[in-house]
Amino acid sequence: MGFKENLKFELSRRGMLVKELAQKSGINQGSLSNYLRESASIPSADVAVKIAKALGVTVEYLVTDEPASTMVKNSQSHSLETRLLADKIERLSEKEKKIIKVLVDEFLK
């Protein structure tokens, strides 16, 4: 995945709006929206640093998908859809997680 996909994932994972990221990073909301578009380019290094800091991730992860933290290392090889699903499961109670595990095990049989 590239910058655009990683940025989208991190915003989604946090339930953060572009407007909130703009406030937190000091980057113009329009510029951030442009980085999320289909034909988006990678921002300059100083802008990428501000975005990464605001999201609590590394620039390396945002730009190259190369993890530098345990949190990112655990999810680097999974698709965006799988990472979003895993994030939702993390919010469940232990009892609910056990039920999900049983269901998944049954599907895989």
Per this entry, what is the length of the chain? 109
Cα–Cα distance measured from residue 61 to residue 68, given in angstroms and rounded to the nearest whole number: 7
Same domain, 60 and 89: no
Residue with tokens 């572009």: 18
Number of H helices, E strands in the chain: 8, 0
Residues 6+ apart with CB under 8 A from 24: 54
Same domain, 33 and 59: yes
Question: Is the overall model pTM greater than 0.85, yes or no?
Answer: no
Same domain, 46 and 14: yes
Same domain, 88 and 68: no
**Number of structural domains the chain divides into:** 2
Same domain, 40 and 5: yes
Question: For the segment 32-60, what is each residue's pLDDT rounded down to a tens digit?
Answer: 999 998 777 789 999 999 999 998 888 88
Domain extent at residue 36: 1-76
pLDDT at 24: 94
Same domain, 53 and 105: no
pLDDT band, very low/low/confident/very high, at 19 (cuts 50, 70, 90): very high
Same domain, 61 and 100: no
Distances (CA, A) of 58 to 1, 46, 49, 92, 93: 15, 13, 8, 27, 29
